[in-house]
Structure 1
């Protein structure tokens, strides 16, 4: 019996009992849809976590800090000072660049300064980074452009930075709406004179002229920051230290560190899957390291049991569908006992009979899987619509691998469910089957 005849006979046998075949296929549809929808909600939860964390920063960026910070000691159940192992300096930066899967590395220097725009000023957290690494580090510029390796006096301003008139008292500043300043059009400067714009301003401090070339989003952790080339910020820091020394009249008066050790280093990894591996390698070098993937893994672990329960609920539906397929095939054997006997008498091999029943079972599983996937997409769409209307972050996502895997799984369940009935059909005696009425 060739494959074409086998498929043709299997389809004709299934269509002889349309209602029973329909009900069996319906069971597979419900089982497939249950599994896919439940798993898709779990996948959607993970994607929702990732999207939420990405609003705080890139999931592929590792934050590296010097060793010697406070750590938790399990033995004493308290915090203790970690022993300092190595400095986070230019040598360490080069070590990070040599790690496999690392795309970009940038040391970080932070400083609080005034950002001046005409008669208005803003308290700004200034972050100095390697300008050539800004794009790779995942900073989202919503207007203008990001920093490039050629920039020196350029800055990128966070969308949440607010200006005010320094001549107003605190009550009036908070009572009035902040002025709207288009930083991309204004002439800007930076100063460490906290009395700038008032009668007590120090005229010996000359503001450093800068140019805003881009704006960051008004949402996320970087919305209140101003990003500029690290070398320019280090120059401002040096000038500030010299000014503080003159003000105090002492060479040792400045409380700022003269060390070349960086406060922080940002390490960009090529793929999210490699972040934890690279992060551990950095820790092995003696530094503290953290990333948003730590939060993501913690969230996934928290919801792991829920996702397992959702998958188990769907699996139960598929088990019921498998029992239904087995029942259908067994009933088909009882009804077609004589037909099986005739097939054996006219020369059909045991292998052909087994293949026939397995093909019928596979068709039930395959057709149920296809329809089940279609139903799953519809349910997934409705879940996302309702969740959006309710303002919930829960969502359903059906990737291609899940859809194809569900169809293959349903087909496999059909074949497995039909295996025992097929074996039973093979064992029937030809003479006894022919005599059966």
Structure 2
């Protein structure tokens, strides 16, 4: 019997018991759809969490920590394989004061190499990068930290008379500098943390750029970014005023290395650890998350597989009844010379057909449920939590990758085949004479 004839044979017998076969397919569909939908929640939560971690952050960044970081060591790291940029930021460790007209702030000054900063992705909202030692870029929120103390005192006195709550007072925006910052001259002074007084050696700086806003709304950037060429002048001022016995340095160092590709981050971190540095990168955090969710998804697939095993009882019963009903037909086939392997194959094809149809319907149904869940659940949760709070979260409740479809399909069809194997085996063991004695 040719394979096409075998398929026709199976199709004819399935059509004779449409309702029973339909209910069996429905059970297989529900089991497989449950597996896919349940596991898709694990994929959705993992994707949401990883997106939250990676959102607007440089995934190729490696933070390097060491008590004896130097510019020479940072320069040496530029020669490492797969390193795109090495950004050594040196932050002033002293009392700092910045003045613009009648406005002052205590913004921190950071010196860096803007060539390396550009390679690492430092971007401006407006203006340009410094081209000389007295030109600087200020953070996006620098103007909000420039205040006139007299205006602030007057403003606070006015608010006290309005009988506002503590929450309302915290939400009020203090008066600050609101004019254009580009090309403005600022006076930068350092001083002692002990007395909070300036050394009275001001450095005149020109604002030529404003940095792009931080990725996270809750992060405020009011720093002043200057070129590394300013270091010598700042150190000279500091040396003239620090206590003679003091061995403290003016700058604290922060070193970040940027890989050319995400897959090369691990190689760089491993190399740095071997050299004795302490390092941190998002890739290490992602590895821990992936391990956790691998276990979670495996658990969800296991639970879903139990549902498929339960549905396999229906397939077993259907195939057992099919064998019982076709006893005489099996006897006729054997009398005509049909081999046991052919009879077994016919029943296995029937159980496989049930598994395949159930799986196809389950996949389509699962995608429909996933799309609906990702549309409806945010509305429900948003209504429960409040649209403003939930609007800030970008949550994906369900994702169905092709790998999940392949795994679920393989499990479903395999279970269907296994469920049909015992009845198919039983069909091959039917005695021809006893079978022919059966009444039609």
- TM-score tier after normalising by the smaller chain length: 0.7 to 0.9
Partner of 1:18: 18
Distance 1:26-1:239 versus aligned 2 partners, 3 A rule: same
Partner of 1:81: none
Residue 62 of structure 1 and its aligned partner are, at CA, apart by 1.7
The CA distance in 2 between the partners of 1:128 and 1:353, in whole Å, is 82
Distance 1:180-1:203 versus aligned 2 partners, 3 A rule: closer
Residue 52 of structure 1 and its aligned partner are, at CA, apart by 1.7
The CA distance in 2 between the partners of 1:298 and 1:159, in whole Å, is 33
Distance 1:276-1:209 versus aligned 2 partners, 3 A rule: same
Partner of 1:266: 257
Q: Does 1:234 align with 2:228?
A: yes
CA contact (8 A) 1:64 1:267 kept: no
Q: Does 1:379 align with 2:369?
A: yes
Per-residue deviation, residues 325-382 of structure 1 (Å, max 9, x unmatched): 2222222111112222222333433333232222222221111112112221222233
CA contact (8 A) 1:64 1:265 kept: yes
TM-align CA RMSD: 4.0
Distance 1:110-1:91 versus aligned 2 partners, 3 A rule: closer
Q: Does 1:52 align with 2:49?
A: no
From 205, 212, 219, the counterpart of 2:216: 219
CA contact (8 A) 2:135 2:205 kept: no
The CA distance in 2 between the partners of 1:227 and 1:2, in whole Å, is 81
CA contact (8 A) 2:185 2:207 kept: yes
Residue 143 of structure 1 and its aligned partner are, at CA, apart by 4.8
Unmatched tracts of structure 1, length 5 or more: 69-83
1:37-436 equivalence runs, <5 A: 37-55=37-55, 57-66=57-66, 68=67, 87=69, 89-91=71-73, 94-95=76-77, 97-99=79-81, 102-111=82-91, 123-125=106-108, 131=114, 134=117, 137=120, 143=125, 158-169=139-150, 171=153, 176-177=173-174, 179=176, 181=178, 186-188=182-184, 192-193=188-189, 205-212=202-209, 215-217=212-214, 219=216, 223-224=220-221, 233-247=227-241, 255-256=248-249, 263-268=254-259, 270-271=261-262, 275-276=265-266, 278-299=268-289, 307=297, 309-389=299-379, 390=381, 391=390, 393=395, 395-436=397-438
The CA distance in 2 between the partners of 1:125 and 1:326, in whole Å, is 74
Larger radius of gyration: 2
Residue 109 of structure 1 and its aligned partner are, at CA, apart by 0.9
Distance 1:245-1:95 versus aligned 2 partners, 3 A rule: closer
CA contact (8 A) 1:330 1:421 kept: yes
Secondary structure in 1 matching 2:59: coil
CA contact (8 A) 1:97 1:105 kept: no
CA contact (8 A) 1:107 1:264 kept: yes
The CA distance in 1 between the partners of 2:294 and 2:18, in whole Å, is 42
Unmatched tracts of structure 2, length 5 or more: 157-171, 192-196, 382-389
The CA distance in 2 between the partners of 1:5 and 1:160, in whole Å, is 77
Distance 1:212-1:257 versus aligned 2 partners, 3 A rule: closer
How many residues get paired? 403
Q: TM-score, normalised by structure 2?
A: 0.75
CA contact (8 A) 1:358 1:418 kept: yes
The CA distance in 2 between the partners of 1:145 and 1:43, in whole Å, is 43
Q: TM-score, normalised by structure 1?
A: 0.75
Residue 305 of structure 1 and its aligned partner are, at CA, apart by 6.5
The CA distance in 2 between the partners of 1:432 and 1:126, in whole Å, is 98
Per-residue deviation, residues 382-425 of structure 1 (Å, max 9, x unmatched): 33234423137462111222223323332222222222222222
Distance 1:54-1:65 versus aligned 2 partners, 3 A rule: same
CA contact (8 A) 1:153 1:211 kept: no
The CA distance in 2 between the partners of 1:10 and 1:117, in whole Å, is 88
Per-residue deviation, residues 284-328 of structure 1 (Å, max 9, x unmatched): 221001123444455566667655543333121111122222222
The CA distance in 2 between the partners of 1:124 and 1:48, in whole Å, is 35
